[in-house]
């Protein structure tokens, strides 16, 4: 990979602005946790693992602010800041998971040196990043065995290196399969309303020399009907205890179509995306986005002024539609018959 979605520097982090892709490759450096929160909210950085990593570093950076306080008082302040970071995007469990992990590291610190406390949190964020890199590689290795020569894969949204600290989740499977010399093709849904499939997934796969074809979201069923799809591989933002999962809006429709056509439907995600505290999909909070994301694109209106808009960023797919989960620990069967 010749790019990184997120990279730690000296007391700051560098984020690739995914709002500008594929036309521009622009990086921003942040040394204020509030700017990182805004980066998460505005989708400058996106993808469940990536925003978790960003959130952990945001907490570390917040602890480095030049304020007159002591360690115990700072620990209390960090609890409130952690809540602020976690509220940036509510659906992806990785954000709260990573921030809580960094916060726990801070709360367990028993020294009286604030700089040392900050270093502990920073080190924890770096550990989360490194572990994500390793998990992505493991997902790729496990999932690549599911890909055969001459397969054609359908994917939705972006679950690649842009969405993680490593080489991705769903796209990691493709990268590893390519490294093994397998020949295959990929169809990428455009993924309305923000076109992450068109702007990001196609860009990523083309960077790595993988044969990718862009389609409109509503073409997926027709391709399946024509026998052009071998399997579906996509990511997840939160997987409930029973296996129901949240992913980018449109995922549920793809899952229903895959089942109707007898096509394997695979979900690639690290173990950090599995939420044992959420019993089922109905308990997963669904983020709603600004109406302007639907009514405008690139500054140009695409709908009548004043039209009502419903814009959930995610939907819930029941585990009964999942053939298997591809994780860093191995392949876990779903419940689809």
Q: What is the DSSP letter of 312?
A: B
The pLDDT of residue 324 = 98
CA distance 183 to 9: 38
- Find out whether 51 and 89 touch, Cβ atoms under 8 Å: yes
Q: What is the pLDDT of residues 115-132, one digit of tens each?
A: 999 999 999 999 999 999
CA distance 161 to 166: 6
The pLDDT of residue 55 = 98
Domain 6-137 has CATH 3.10.20.310: no
The pLDDT of residue 67 = 72
Q: What is the DSSP letter of 212?
A: E
- Find out whether 156 and 189 touch, Cβ atoms under 8 Å: yes
Per-residue pLDDT band at 47 (split at 50, 70, 90) = very high
In the set 151, 189, 217, 237, the catalytic residue is: 237
In this model, does residue 299 exceed pLDDT 90? no
Q: How many CB atoms neighbour CB 54 within 10 A?
A: 31
Which stretches within 236-323 are classed as H helix?
A: 251-260, 292-295
Q: What is the pLDDT of residues 187-213, one digit of tens each?
A: 999 999 999 999 999 999 999 999 999
**What is the mean pLDDT of the segment spanning 240-260?**
98
The pLDDT of residue 2 = 85
In this model, does residue 298 exceed pLDDT 90? no
To the query of whether residue 237 is one of the catalytic residues in this protein, the response is: yes
Crossing angle for the helix pair 93-107 and 71-86, nearest 10 degrees? Answer: 180
Per-residue pLDDT band at 149 (split at 50, 70, 90) = very high
Please give the distance of CA 51 from its chain centroid, rounded to a whole number. 7
Q: What is the pLDDT of residues 7-38, one digit of tens each?
A: 999 999 999 999 999 999 999 999 999 999 99
CA distance 79 to 76: 5
- Residue pointed to by tokens 């129901």: 244
In this model, does residue 1 exceed pLDDT 80? no
CA distance 248 to 236: 8
204-211 long-range contacts, CB within 8 A, separation 24+: 204/158, 204/160, 204/161, 204/162, 204/168, 204/171, 205/160, 205/171, 205/174, 207/1, 207/2, 207/3, 208/1, 208/175, 208/178, 209/178, 210/174, 210/175, 210/178, 210/186, 211/184, 211/185, 211/186
φ, ψ of residue 35 to 5 degrees: the values are -70, -35
The pLDDT of residue 332 = 97
CA distance 60 to 56: 7
Q: What is the pLDDT of residues 59-100, one digit of tens each?
A: 999 999 877 788 999 999 999 999 999 999 999 999 999 999
CA distance 237 to 245: 7
Per-residue pLDDT band at 135 (split at 50, 70, 90) = very high
Domain boundaries, the chain: 6-137, 141-333
Identify the CATH homologous superfamily for domain 141-333.
Translation initiation factor eif-2b; domain 2 (3.40.50.10470)
Altogether, the residues listed in the chain come to a count of 337
């Amino acid at each position: 990979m010749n790019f990184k979605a997120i990279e730690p520097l000296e007391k700051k982090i560098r984020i690739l602005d995914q709002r500008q892709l594929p036309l521009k490759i622009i990086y921003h450096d942040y040394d204020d946790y509030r700017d990182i929160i805004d980066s998460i909210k505005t989708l400058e950085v996106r993808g469940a693992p990536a925003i978790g990593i960003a959130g952990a570093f945001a907490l570390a950076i917040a602890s480095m602010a030049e304020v007159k306080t002591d360690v115990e008082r700072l620990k209390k302040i960090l609890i409130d800041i952690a809540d602020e970071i976690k509220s940036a995007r509510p659906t992806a469990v990785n954000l709260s998971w990573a921030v809580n992990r960094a916060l726990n590291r801070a709360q367990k610190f028993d020294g009286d040196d604030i700089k040392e406390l900050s270093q502990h949190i920073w080190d924890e964020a770096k550990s989360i990043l490194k572990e994500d890199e390793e998990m992505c590689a493991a997902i790729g290795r496990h999932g690549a065995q599911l890909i055969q020569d001459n397969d054609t894969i359908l994917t939705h949204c972006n679950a690649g290196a842009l969405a993680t600290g490593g080489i991705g989740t769903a796209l990691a499977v493709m990268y590893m399969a390519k490294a093994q010399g397998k020949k295959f093709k990929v169809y990428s849904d455009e993924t309305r309303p923000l076109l992450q499939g068109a702007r990001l997934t196609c860009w990523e796969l083309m960077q790595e020399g993988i044969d990718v074809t862009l389609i409109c979201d509503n073409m997926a069923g027709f391709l399946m009907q024509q026998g052009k799809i071998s399997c579906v591989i996509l990511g997840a933002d939160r997987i409930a205890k029973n296996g129901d999962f949240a992913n980018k809006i449109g995922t549920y429709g793809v899952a229903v179509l895959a089942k109707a056509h007898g096509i394997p439907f695979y979900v690639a995600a690290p173990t950090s995306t599995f939420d044992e505290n959420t019993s089922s999909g109905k308990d997963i909070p669904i983020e709603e986005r600004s109406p302007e994301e639907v009514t405008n694109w690139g500054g140009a209106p695409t709908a009548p002024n004043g039209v009502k808009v419903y814009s959930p960023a995610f939907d819930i797919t029941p585990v009964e539609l999942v053939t298997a989960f591809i994780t860093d620990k191995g392949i876990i069967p779903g419940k689809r018959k």
